[in-house]
Structure 1
Amino acid sequence: MKKWYAVHAKPRQDARAEENLRNQGFEVFRPLARLRRRVRNGMVEAVESLFPRYLFVQLDVDRDHWGVIRSTKGVAGFVQFTNAPTPVGEQVVSGIRAMMSGADWIDLSSSNLADGTPVRVTEGPFAGYEGQFFSREGEDRVIVLLTVMQRAQRVVLPEHHIEAA
Protein backbone atom coordinates (compact mmCIF):
# COMPACT_ATOMS: atom_id res chain seq x y z
CA MET A 1 0.00 0.00 0.00
CA LYS A 2 1.39 3.37 -1.03
CA LYS A 3 2.02 5.93 1.69
CA TRP A 4 3.63 9.35 1.84
CA TYR A 5 7.12 9.74 3.28
CA ALA A 6 9.08 12.89 4.08
CA VAL A 7 12.41 13.28 2.32
CA HIS A 8 15.11 15.65 3.55
CA ALA A 9 16.83 17.55 0.74
CA LYS A 10 20.33 18.99 0.68
CA PRO A 11 20.59 22.75 1.33
CA ARG A 12 18.95 24.81 -1.44
CA GLN A 13 18.35 21.70 -3.57
CA ASP A 14 14.62 21.16 -3.03
CA ALA A 15 13.77 21.69 -6.70
CA ARG A 16 16.66 19.53 -7.88
CA ALA A 17 15.61 16.68 -5.58
CA GLU A 18 12.00 17.00 -6.77
CA GLU A 19 12.98 16.90 -10.43
CA ASN A 20 15.33 13.92 -10.02
CA LEU A 21 12.78 11.92 -8.02
CA ARG A 22 10.10 12.59 -10.67
CA ASN A 23 12.53 11.48 -13.38
CA GLN A 24 12.85 8.16 -11.52
CA GLY A 25 9.07 7.70 -11.62
CA PHE A 26 8.18 8.60 -8.03
CA GLU A 27 5.15 10.69 -7.16
CA VAL A 28 6.53 13.79 -5.44
CA PHE A 29 4.77 16.62 -3.62
CA ARG A 30 6.74 19.76 -2.73
CA PRO A 31 4.34 22.34 -1.34
CA LEU A 32 5.19 25.90 -2.34
CA ALA A 33 4.33 29.20 -0.70
CA ARG A 34 4.17 32.69 -2.15
CA LEU A 35 5.42 35.11 0.44
CA ARG A 36 6.86 38.56 0.88
CA ARG A 37 10.54 38.89 1.68
CA ARG A 38 12.22 41.97 3.00
CA VAL A 39 15.15 43.09 0.88
CA ARG A 40 17.48 46.03 1.26
CA ASN A 41 15.14 48.62 -0.24
CA GLY A 42 11.66 47.19 0.22
CA MET A 43 9.63 44.03 -0.09
CA VAL A 44 9.51 41.50 -2.92
CA GLU A 45 7.22 38.55 -3.51
CA ALA A 46 8.85 35.16 -3.93
CA VAL A 47 7.73 31.56 -4.36
CA GLU A 48 9.64 29.16 -2.11
CA SER A 49 9.19 25.75 -0.53
CA LEU A 50 6.63 25.83 2.26
CA PHE A 51 8.93 23.49 4.20
CA PRO A 52 12.48 24.36 3.08
CA ARG A 53 14.60 21.22 2.51
CA TYR A 54 11.61 18.85 2.83
CA LEU A 55 9.36 17.20 0.26
CA PHE A 56 6.99 14.25 0.23
CA VAL A 57 7.35 11.06 -1.83
CA GLN A 58 4.59 8.48 -2.25
CA LEU A 59 5.73 4.87 -2.40
CA ASP A 60 5.11 1.35 -1.17
CA VAL A 61 8.15 0.42 0.96
CA ASP A 62 7.37 -3.29 0.55
CA ARG A 63 7.29 -3.17 -3.28
CA ASP A 64 9.19 -0.07 -4.44
CA HIS A 65 12.96 0.02 -4.34
CA TRP A 66 13.24 3.00 -2.02
CA GLY A 67 16.99 2.69 -1.44
CA VAL A 68 17.66 4.62 -4.67
CA ILE A 69 15.97 7.68 -3.19
CA ARG A 70 18.82 8.14 -0.71
CA SER A 71 21.37 8.30 -3.54
CA THR A 72 19.33 10.70 -5.67
CA LYS A 73 21.07 14.02 -6.39
CA GLY A 74 19.67 16.70 -4.13
CA VAL A 75 18.39 14.24 -1.50
CA ALA A 76 20.02 14.01 1.94
CA GLY A 77 17.85 11.10 3.10
CA PHE A 78 14.53 10.06 4.54
CA VAL A 79 13.00 11.42 7.71
CA GLN A 80 13.07 8.30 9.86
CA PHE A 81 12.89 7.30 13.48
CA THR A 82 13.74 3.61 13.03
CA ASN A 83 15.71 1.71 10.40
CA ALA A 84 12.98 2.37 7.85
CA PRO A 85 11.36 5.59 6.60
CA THR A 86 8.53 6.85 8.80
CA PRO A 87 5.23 7.42 6.93
CA VAL A 88 3.46 10.76 6.97
CA GLY A 89 -0.30 10.62 7.46
CA GLU A 90 -2.40 10.96 4.31
CA GLN A 91 -4.43 13.64 6.11
CA VAL A 92 -1.29 15.81 6.39
CA VAL A 93 -0.65 15.79 2.64
CA SER A 94 -4.34 16.15 1.73
CA GLY A 95 -4.67 18.99 4.27
CA ILE A 96 -1.79 20.89 2.66
CA ARG A 97 -3.28 20.30 -0.78
CA ALA A 98 -6.64 21.59 0.47
CA MET A 99 -4.97 24.80 1.68
CA MET A 100 -3.53 25.23 -1.81
CA SER A 101 -7.11 25.02 -3.16
CA GLY A 102 -6.10 24.21 -6.73
CA ALA A 103 -3.30 26.78 -6.95
CA ASP A 104 0.38 25.96 -7.38
CA TRP A 105 1.19 27.46 -3.98
CA ILE A 106 -0.23 28.64 -0.68
CA ASP A 107 -0.45 32.43 -0.67
CA LEU A 108 1.28 33.77 2.43
CA SER A 109 2.14 37.10 0.82
CA SER A 110 -0.90 39.04 1.92
CA SER A 111 -1.89 39.52 5.49
CA ASN A 112 -5.30 38.16 6.41
CA LEU A 113 -5.75 40.51 9.36
CA ALA A 114 -9.25 41.88 9.86
CA ASP A 115 -10.09 45.07 11.71
CA GLY A 116 -9.85 44.53 15.45
CA THR A 117 -7.57 41.48 15.24
CA PRO A 118 -5.15 41.36 18.19
CA VAL A 119 -1.56 41.86 17.02
CA ARG A 120 1.90 41.94 18.55
CA VAL A 121 4.69 44.25 17.39
CA THR A 122 7.83 42.18 16.75
CA GLU A 123 10.34 44.78 15.55
CA GLY A 124 11.16 48.45 15.86
CA PRO A 125 10.71 50.89 18.75
CA PHE A 126 7.32 49.39 19.72
CA ALA A 127 8.58 45.77 19.82
CA GLY A 128 6.75 43.83 22.53
CA TYR A 129 3.64 46.03 22.50
CA GLU A 130 0.28 44.43 21.81
CA GLY A 131 -2.62 46.18 20.14
CA GLN A 132 -5.34 45.86 17.54
CA PHE A 133 -5.10 45.90 13.77
CA PHE A 134 -6.93 48.98 12.51
CA SER A 135 -6.37 49.22 8.74
CA ARG A 136 -3.89 49.14 5.88
CA GLU A 137 -2.05 52.19 4.69
CA GLY A 138 -0.57 51.65 1.29
CA GLU A 139 0.99 48.40 0.19
CA ASP A 140 3.56 47.79 2.94
CA ARG A 141 2.24 49.65 5.98
CA VAL A 142 -0.52 49.11 8.51
CA ILE A 143 -2.21 51.19 11.18
CA VAL A 144 -2.31 49.57 14.60
CA LEU A 145 -4.05 50.81 17.75
CA LEU A 146 -1.53 50.63 20.59
CA THR A 147 -2.10 51.67 24.18
CA VAL A 148 0.70 54.14 24.84
CA MET A 149 0.71 56.20 28.04
CA GLN A 150 -2.76 54.90 28.96
CA ARG A 151 -4.26 56.08 25.67
CA ALA A 152 -5.09 54.26 22.46
CA GLN A 153 -2.88 55.70 19.74
CA ARG A 154 -2.93 55.01 16.01
CA VAL A 155 0.57 54.01 15.00
CA VAL A 156 1.70 53.44 11.42
CA LEU A 157 4.12 50.51 11.13
CA PRO A 158 5.69 48.46 8.36
CA GLU A 159 3.54 45.35 7.89
CA HIS A 160 6.44 42.99 8.59
CA HIS A 161 6.81 44.50 12.10
CA ILE A 162 3.58 42.87 13.33
CA GLU A 163 2.16 39.39 13.76
CA ALA A 164 -1.18 38.07 14.94
CA ALA A 165 -1.20 37.74 18.74
Structure 2
Amino acid sequence: MTASAVQTSGLGRAWYVVVTHVHQEKHARYQLEQQGFTVYLPMVPPPVRARARNGVAPGPRPMIPRYLFIEMDLDQDRWRAVFSTMGVTEVIMRGSGEAARPSPIPSRFIEELKKREINGLVVLQHARNDNGKGGSAGPRFKRGDKLRVAGQTADYDVIFEEMVDGDRAAVIFTLLGRDSRQIISLPSED
Protein backbone atom coordinates (compact mmCIF):
# COMPACT_ATOMS: atom_id res chain seq x y z
CA MET A 1 0.00 0.00 0.00
CA THR A 2 1.37 3.40 -0.88
CA ALA A 3 0.94 6.58 1.07
CA SER A 4 -1.41 7.85 -1.62
CA ALA A 5 -3.59 4.73 -1.35
CA VAL A 6 -4.72 5.46 2.19
CA GLN A 7 -5.17 8.45 4.37
CA THR A 8 -3.17 8.50 7.57
CA SER A 9 -3.25 10.53 10.74
CA GLY A 10 -2.90 14.21 10.01
CA LEU A 11 -4.65 13.95 6.66
CA GLY A 12 -8.26 13.65 7.80
CA ARG A 13 -10.83 10.91 7.73
CA ALA A 14 -10.01 7.34 6.72
CA TRP A 15 -11.58 3.89 7.02
CA TYR A 16 -10.40 1.34 9.59
CA VAL A 17 -11.23 -2.30 10.32
CA VAL A 18 -12.99 -3.32 13.55
CA VAL A 19 -13.22 -6.94 14.69
CA THR A 20 -16.33 -7.93 16.65
CA HIS A 21 -17.37 -10.80 18.87
CA VAL A 22 -18.99 -13.72 17.04
CA HIS A 23 -22.47 -12.74 15.73
CA GLN A 24 -22.14 -9.27 17.30
CA GLU A 25 -21.56 -7.23 14.14
CA LYS A 26 -24.95 -5.48 14.23
CA HIS A 27 -24.73 -4.82 17.96
CA ALA A 28 -21.23 -3.35 17.63
CA ARG A 29 -22.39 -1.20 14.69
CA TYR A 30 -25.28 0.15 16.75
CA GLN A 31 -23.04 0.90 19.73
CA LEU A 32 -20.46 2.68 17.57
CA GLU A 33 -23.13 4.72 15.78
CA GLN A 34 -24.52 5.77 19.19
CA GLN A 35 -21.07 7.22 19.90
CA GLY A 36 -21.24 9.27 16.69
CA PHE A 37 -18.98 7.17 14.46
CA THR A 38 -19.69 6.48 10.80
CA VAL A 39 -19.86 2.68 10.47
CA TYR A 40 -20.21 0.44 7.44
CA LEU A 41 -21.29 -3.18 7.82
CA PRO A 42 -21.56 -4.72 4.34
CA MET A 43 -24.44 -7.19 4.23
CA VAL A 44 -25.18 -9.89 1.66
CA PRO A 45 -28.35 -11.82 0.81
CA PRO A 46 -28.89 -15.15 2.56
CA PRO A 47 -27.63 -18.22 0.71
CA VAL A 48 -30.10 -19.43 -1.92
CA ARG A 49 -30.45 -22.81 -0.24
CA ALA A 50 -30.85 -21.40 3.29
CA ARG A 51 -33.86 -22.87 5.07
CA ALA A 52 -36.26 -21.26 7.49
CA ARG A 53 -35.64 -22.09 11.13
CA ASN A 54 -38.52 -22.15 13.56
CA GLY A 55 -40.71 -20.59 10.89
CA VAL A 56 -38.39 -17.60 10.38
CA ALA A 57 -37.00 -17.05 6.89
CA PRO A 58 -33.25 -16.43 6.69
CA GLY A 59 -32.27 -12.80 6.40
CA PRO A 60 -29.28 -10.85 5.19
CA ARG A 61 -25.95 -11.68 6.82
CA PRO A 62 -22.64 -9.85 7.21
CA MET A 63 -20.45 -10.18 4.13
CA ILE A 64 -17.36 -10.73 6.27
CA PRO A 65 -18.32 -12.37 9.57
CA ARG A 66 -16.91 -10.53 12.61
CA TYR A 67 -15.67 -7.51 10.61
CA LEU A 68 -17.03 -4.03 10.08
CA PHE A 69 -15.53 -0.73 8.97
CA ILE A 70 -15.40 2.59 10.78
CA GLU A 71 -14.53 6.01 9.39
CA MET A 72 -12.53 8.22 11.71
CA ASP A 73 -10.11 11.11 11.89
CA LEU A 74 -7.50 9.92 14.37
CA ASP A 75 -6.57 13.49 15.25
CA GLN A 76 -10.13 14.59 16.05
CA ASP A 77 -12.27 11.57 16.95
CA ARG A 78 -12.09 9.74 20.27
CA TRP A 79 -10.90 6.60 18.50
CA ARG A 80 -9.67 4.86 21.67
CA ALA A 81 -13.32 4.61 22.77
CA VAL A 82 -13.82 2.01 20.03
CA PHE A 83 -11.82 -0.52 22.10
CA SER A 84 -14.29 -0.40 25.01
CA THR A 85 -17.41 -0.54 22.85
CA MET A 86 -19.74 -3.47 23.51
CA GLY A 87 -19.44 -6.08 20.78
CA VAL A 88 -15.94 -4.99 19.70
CA THR A 89 -12.91 -7.21 20.34
CA GLU A 90 -10.20 -5.25 18.55
CA VAL A 91 -9.22 -2.74 15.90
CA ILE A 92 -6.66 -3.75 13.26
CA MET A 93 -3.55 -1.80 14.29
CA ARG A 94 -0.07 -1.06 13.02
CA GLY A 95 2.91 -0.29 15.19
CA SER A 96 3.37 -1.38 18.78
CA GLY A 97 3.14 0.03 22.27
CA GLU A 98 2.26 3.71 22.61
CA ALA A 99 3.00 4.26 18.91
CA ALA A 100 0.29 1.77 17.82
CA ARG A 101 -2.51 3.34 15.81
CA PRO A 102 -5.38 1.92 13.77
CA SER A 103 -4.25 0.84 10.32
CA PRO A 104 -6.20 2.60 7.53
CA ILE A 105 -7.54 0.78 4.48
CA PRO A 106 -8.00 2.29 1.01
CA SER A 107 -11.25 4.25 0.79
CA ARG A 108 -11.74 2.89 -2.74
CA PHE A 109 -12.36 -0.54 -1.18
CA ILE A 110 -15.38 0.78 0.75
CA GLU A 111 -16.54 2.79 -2.27
CA GLU A 112 -16.40 -0.35 -4.45
CA LEU A 113 -18.46 -2.36 -1.95
CA LYS A 114 -21.05 0.41 -1.73
CA LYS A 115 -21.28 0.59 -5.55
CA ARG A 116 -22.15 -3.11 -5.58
CA GLU A 117 -25.11 -2.63 -3.22
CA ILE A 118 -28.61 -3.35 -4.43
CA ASN A 119 -31.34 -2.55 -1.89
CA GLY A 120 -28.69 -2.27 0.84
CA LEU A 121 -27.08 -5.64 0.10
CA VAL A 122 -23.69 -6.18 -1.57
CA VAL A 123 -24.07 -8.24 -4.73
CA LEU A 124 -20.98 -9.53 -6.49
CA GLN A 125 -21.54 -9.60 -10.24
CA HIS A 126 -19.80 -10.02 -13.58
CA ALA A 127 -17.31 -12.80 -13.04
CA ARG A 128 -14.91 -13.88 -15.72
CA ASN A 129 -12.44 -16.70 -15.76
CA ASP A 130 -8.79 -16.05 -15.00
CA ASN A 131 -7.83 -15.63 -18.65
CA GLY A 132 -10.07 -12.54 -18.82
CA LYS A 133 -12.79 -14.03 -21.01
CA GLY A 134 -16.37 -13.84 -19.87
CA GLY A 135 -18.77 -16.71 -20.16
CA SER A 136 -21.30 -18.84 -18.43
CA ALA A 137 -20.30 -21.36 -15.85
CA GLY A 138 -21.66 -24.34 -17.73
CA PRO A 139 -19.03 -27.00 -18.32
CA ARG A 140 -16.37 -24.27 -18.58
CA PHE A 141 -15.99 -23.98 -14.78
CA LYS A 142 -15.35 -26.65 -12.23
CA ARG A 143 -15.02 -26.53 -8.46
CA GLY A 144 -11.79 -24.76 -7.54
CA ASP A 145 -11.46 -22.67 -10.72
CA LYS A 146 -10.25 -19.14 -10.09
CA LEU A 147 -12.54 -16.35 -11.36
CA ARG A 148 -12.09 -12.62 -11.29
CA VAL A 149 -14.94 -10.33 -10.19
CA ALA A 150 -14.36 -7.16 -12.16
CA GLY A 151 -15.28 -3.78 -10.72
CA GLN A 152 -14.86 -0.19 -11.79
CA THR A 153 -12.02 0.49 -9.36
CA ALA A 154 -10.79 -2.96 -8.35
CA ASP A 155 -10.93 -6.63 -9.33
CA TYR A 156 -11.29 -9.47 -6.84
CA ASP A 157 -10.24 -13.09 -7.19
CA VAL A 158 -12.84 -15.69 -6.16
CA ILE A 159 -12.89 -19.48 -6.29
CA PHE A 160 -15.77 -21.16 -8.16
CA GLU A 161 -17.69 -23.62 -5.97
CA GLU A 162 -20.87 -24.58 -7.83
CA MET A 163 -23.72 -23.33 -9.97
CA VAL A 164 -26.74 -22.29 -7.94
CA ASP A 165 -29.26 -21.68 -10.70
CA GLY A 166 -29.32 -20.35 -14.26
CA ASP A 167 -26.53 -17.78 -14.38
CA ARG A 168 -25.73 -17.58 -10.65
CA ALA A 169 -22.81 -19.34 -8.99
CA ALA A 170 -21.58 -19.87 -5.46
CA VAL A 171 -18.00 -18.68 -5.03
CA ILE A 172 -15.53 -18.31 -2.18
CA PHE A 173 -14.53 -14.67 -1.70
CA THR A 174 -11.48 -14.06 0.52
CA LEU A 175 -11.25 -10.70 2.24
CA LEU A 176 -9.06 -9.69 5.16
CA GLY A 177 -7.92 -13.28 5.52
CA ARG A 178 -11.45 -14.67 5.88
CA ASP A 179 -13.32 -16.82 3.40
CA SER A 180 -16.93 -15.95 2.70
CA ARG A 181 -19.28 -17.93 0.45
CA GLN A 182 -21.10 -15.56 -1.90
CA ILE A 183 -23.61 -15.93 -4.72
CA ILE A 184 -22.71 -13.97 -7.85
CA SER A 185 -24.31 -13.48 -11.25
CA LEU A 186 -22.23 -14.65 -14.17
CA PRO A 187 -22.41 -12.85 -17.51
CA SER A 188 -24.09 -14.56 -20.44
CA GLU A 189 -21.93 -16.12 -23.17
CA ASP A 190 -22.60 -13.37 -25.71
TM-score normalised according to structure 2 size? 0.56
2:140 is aligned, of 114, 118, 125, to 118
Contact 2:83 2:91 in 1 (8 A): yes
Aligned residues: 125
Distance 2:86 2:74 in 1: 20
2:80 is aligned, of 62, 67, 70, to 67
Question: Could you tell me how far 1:61 is from its partner in structure 2?
Answer: 0.4
- Higher strand proportion: 1
Distance 1:18 1:76 in 2: 13
Question: Could you tell me how far 1:92 is from its partner in structure 2?
Answer: 0.5
Question: Could you tell me how far 1:103 is from its partner in structure 2?
Answer: 2.2
Contact 1:36 1:46 in 2 (8 A): no
User: Amino acid of the residue matched to residue 10 of structure 1?
Assistant: H
User: Amino acid of the residue matched to residue 142 of structure 2?
Assistant: R
Judged with a 3 Å threshold, the aligned counterparts in structure 2 of structure 1 residues 117 and 61 are, in CA distance, closer, same or farther, namely farther
Question: Could you tell me how far 1:35 is from its partner in structure 2?
Answer: 3.1
| Helix, strand or coil at the partner of 2:23 | coil
> Which entry has the higher C-alpha Rg, 1 or 2?
1
Contiguous gaps of at least 5 residues in structure 1: 123-132, 137-163
Distance 2:138 2:49 in 1: 25
Judged with a 3 Å threshold, the aligned counterparts in structure 2 of structure 1 residues 54 and 115 are, in CA distance, closer, same or farther, namely closer
TM-score normalised according to structure 1 size? 0.63
Contact 1:79 1:86 in 2 (8 A): yes
Contact 2:37 2:71 in 1 (8 A): yes
User: Amino acid of the residue matched to residue 13 of structure 1?
Assistant: Q
Q: Where does residue 103 of structure 1 map in the other structure?
A: 119
Distance 1:50 1:91 in 2: 17
Judged with a 3 Å threshold, the aligned counterparts in structure 2 of structure 1 residues 39 and 92 are, in CA distance, closer, same or farther, namely closer
| Helix, strand or coil at the partner of 1:120 | coil
Distance 1:79 1:119 in 2: 36
1:54 aligns to 2:67 (yes or no): yes
1:28 aligns to 2:50 (yes or no): no
- What is the identity percentage for the equivalent residue pairs of Structure 1 and Structure 2? 25
| Helix, strand or coil at the partner of 1:118 | coil
Q: Which runs of 4+ in 1 moved over 4 A?
A: 37-41
Judged with a 3 Å threshold, the aligned counterparts in structure 2 of structure 1 residues 67 and 106 are, in CA distance, closer, same or farther, namely same
Q: Where does residue 106 of structure 2 map in the other structure?
A: 89
Contiguous gaps of at least 5 residues in structure 2: 1-11, 129-134, 145-162, 167-185
